[in-house]
Amino acid sequence: MAYTSSKGFLYRGSMISPSEPVVQSFIIDNSKTITIGDAITLAAGFATVSAGVGGDNIAGICVGIVDASGIPVWQEGADVDGTLTGDDTYASAADNQTDKKCKVQVVPTTTALWYNEADSTLAQAEEGLYFDLTNTGDQVTGTGNATKATMQLVKMLSTASGPNSFGEGLFKIAESYFQVAAA
């Protein structure tokens, strides 16, 4: 596959289940660019990339993009009128909500573990702390904080690969679009 981005969240397992993750589909909002690995939120019922700030509840992490019939948008015969870039990025048409209705496939669970390379170095002391996302919705940002934010660092990975040595970790969604409302 010819991925256009080296960033994004990659599925690495579950905290409670060894089985494959559940996937949910949402129609992509008009004129939105989504890349596999982006954190997705819903705006008026349509999928868009998370702005990355605390309180921007995540519907899930994008693991696929399909047409209204469920055919991957990069596959021959898919019914799309947006723009494809590489094998991972799709820009929806201005009338996607009502015409082609291409969908983003997300893993919505808060128990899934996602590999991500932070935009800064992670420290062992940040395990269990919370992080916001960059405004592109594909990378955790800043220093871990005890105040609940979009993602939570479950495990720091002590590898020195990549441009941000020791900036790699396994994260879970901390602020879910589908969380139980406070009483």
Mean pLDDT score, 74-84 = 94
Report d(CA 144, CA 151) in Å as an integer: 10
Q: What pLDDT is attached to residue 20?
A: 74
The torsion defined by the Cα of 122, 171, 159 and 125, in degrees rounded to 10, comes to: 40
Distances (CA, A) of 24 to 18, 72, 103: 18, 14, 10
Q: What's the mean per-residue pLDDT of the chain?
A: 89
Tens digit of each residue's pLDDT (9 = 90 or more) over 127-162: 999 999 998 999 998 789 998 889 999 999 865 555
Mean pLDDT score, 79-83 = 94
Distances (CA, A) of 12 to 49, 96, 144, 165: 21, 31, 21, 19
Q: What pLDDT is attached to residue 142?
A: 79
Indicate if the pLDDT at residue 45 is higher than 80: yes
Range with lowest mean pLDDT among 33-37, 83-87, 141-145, 156-160: 156-160
Pairing of strands 151-157, 130-133: antiparallel
Q: What is the DSSP letter of 58?
A: B
- Cα torsion angle, 134, 93, 108, 113, sign: negative
Q: What pLDDT is attached to residue 19?
A: 77
Mean pLDDT score, 57-73 = 96
pLDDT above 90 coverage of the chain, percent: 66
For residue 7, what pLDDT band results from cuts at 50, 70 and 90?
Answer: confident
Q: What is the pTM assigned to this prediction?
A: 0.90
Report d(CA 47, CA 106) in Å as an integer: 10
Mean pLDDT score, 27-56 = 91
